[in-house]
Structure 1
Amino acid sequence: MIDFLRGQIAHLETEYVVLDVQGVGYRVFCPNPYALATKGQETVTVYTHHHVREDAILLFGFPTREEQKLFRKLIEVSGIGPRVALGILSGGSPDHVVAAIHQENLAFLTKLPGIGKKTAQRMILDLKDKLEGVGGTLFDPVPAAGGETGLDGGNPGWPEAREGLKALGYTEAELDKVWHRLKDDVGPDEAVDSVMKKALKLLYAG
């Protein structure tokens, strides 16, 4: 099993990054690939999950061990495959997802990409007692599901995306500037992961 890769970013797409490790290019699918390019380092470490199935061998990658652990817990839930788990991590930080599971916050969980009410209930049932050590602030309030500060509030998807970008080290001034450039390109029902990817692409490009 490949647990992590350390190398240079050779190529970026909206769904994956190609990491050059001593001359070998590994395609790694990530929640937010552009987040890996914000570290300001020539060499980056990507924590991976090596997924093998009958018709494909895939690598899924994350900037932190915390995300890697949560991803592996999520794919243990019936009905959640690697792609859906990746969407969950692109739509909410590990802390918020874990807190929502502990708080049985269906409103938050059903706002995550690919998650309906039945799957959210299954996540709570299967994972509530299995997330020790995953997520740093388990009982911090999660973002509201609606209203001006929610995922689908006045600026669709932006409040949650903004929190994720702040966690990556971006300043309030940088985020205000990028939102001014981005807001006309965000649809009324656009998902959080899409908003965050668009913002990261602008931030990465300068």
Structure 2
Amino acid sequence: MIAYINGEVAEITDQAVILETNGLGYEVICPNPYRFQAQVGQKQKIYTYHHVREDAQILFGFQNQDEKALFAQILNVSGIGPKGALAVLATTSVKDFVVAIEQEDEKFLTSFPGVGKKTARQMILDLKGKLPFDYQAENMMQQDEGSSGNNQALTEAIEALKALGYSEKEINHIKPMLSKEQSDTADTYIRKGLALLMK
């Protein structure tokens, strides 16, 4: 099992980072390869999950150990393969995903590509209480404390985006990214939301 590769980022494609070490170029499939754009030509440590199939051996890469561990956990969910697990990690953080599982937030889970209600329920059934992260209690507390300020501004911004004609599915897709913004005004969230929606 290859736990990580520490090498020079030689190239980035839509799906992978090419990491060169000792004259070998490793193709490492990542949730969002462009996160490593700033490291092109530099040394970078990428944590890897070595996925072996009958017809292929694939290296999946992650920025940290928690992303890698979550990827492995999601693969254990019935009906979800590497492509689905990558889509989750490409669009949310480990913390937000853990909170969604623990709170049985089906609406959040069905915002991921290819995840319907049945798969969301399966995720909750297979993963709730089993995710090996210290974020759980911390994030529950943060979410309870966040009922004012930022959350109110975010709620107003989401309503404004709906009024502009964007569907709930489109808004749910960008909501995890919007939640990371630190702002007390709805206008900031709206501007960020429009920028994400227009990508």
Q: TM-score, normalised by structure 2?
A: 0.74
Paired position in structure 1 for 2:58: 58
Q: Map of 1:109-148 to 2, 5 A cutoff?
A: 109-133=109-133, 135=135, 137-139=138-140, 140-141=142-143, 148=157
Matched residue, 1:160: 176
Go from structure 1 to structure 2 and tell me whether the alpha carbon gap of 1:40 and 1:13 turns closer, same or farther (over 3 Å shift): closer
For residues 135-188 of structure 1, the C-alpha deviation after alignment (integer angstroms, 9 at most, x for no partner) is 4644244999x87349x8568555533566x7xxxxxxxx99xx69x94x955x
| Residues 66 and 134 in structure 1, CA contact (< 8 A), matched pair in contact too | no
The alpha-carbon distance between structure 1 residues 77 and 118, as it changes in their structure 2 partners (threshold 3 A), is same
C-alpha distance in structure 1 between counterparts of 2:10 and 2:18, whole Å: 5
The separation in 2 between residues aligned to 1:65 and 1:12, in whole angstroms, is: 21
Structure 2 residue ranges without an equivalent (≥5): 182-187
Change (3 A) 1:82 1:134: farther
| Contact 2:51 2:59 (8 Å CA) reproduced | yes
| AA at the equivalent of 1:14 | D
Q: Per the alignment, in what secondary structure is the counterpart of residue 131 of structure 1?
A: coil
Answer 1 or 2: higher relative contact order, Cα 8 Å, separation at least 6.
1
Q: Which is helix-richer, 1 or 2?
A: 2
Q: Number of residues paired by the alignment?
A: 176
- Paired residues for 1:66-105 under 5 Å: 66-105=66-105
TM-score (norm 1): 0.72
Larger Rg: 2
Aligned-residue sequence identity (percent) comes to: 38
Q: Compared with structure 1, are the counterparts of its residues 147 and 127 closer, same or farther at alpha carbon in structure 2 (3 Å cutoff)?
A: farther
Structure 1 unmatched ranges of 5 or more: 167-174, 188-194, 196-206
